[in-house]
Amino acid sequence: MAIAKAQPFQDGHKRTAIFAANAHLICNHSQQLLTVPLDNTFHDLLARSYLFNEDEGVKVLMRGKGFASL
């Protein structure tokens, strides 16, 4: 969440954070990549994270639905 919030461009926080996370996973020979769940809940939870620092909801969603196997 810190990478997504700290990224300085107006449109690109999510892409930058996912790119950084996937680079880490690939470098560590993971068999999974992080993806954005096709779920409207994701955007709502992400907005709550940005606006209210409520990170836990989006973290739980990403752990449960945010990984794809290679």
Please tell me whether residue 34 adopts helix, strand or coil conformation: strand
Residues in the chain: 70
Q: Which helix (H) or strand (E) holds 69?
A: strand 67-69
Q: Judge whether 69 and 31 are in contact, CB under 8 Å.
A: yes
Q: Is the pLDDT of residue 52 over 70?
A: yes
pLDDT digits (tens, 9 = 90+) for 31-40: 999 998 887 8
Q: Judge whether 62 and 37 are in contact, CB under 8 Å.
A: yes
Average pLDDT over residues 1-9: 59
Q: Which residue has the higher pLDDT, 10 or 58?
A: 58
Average pLDDT over residues 8-18: 69
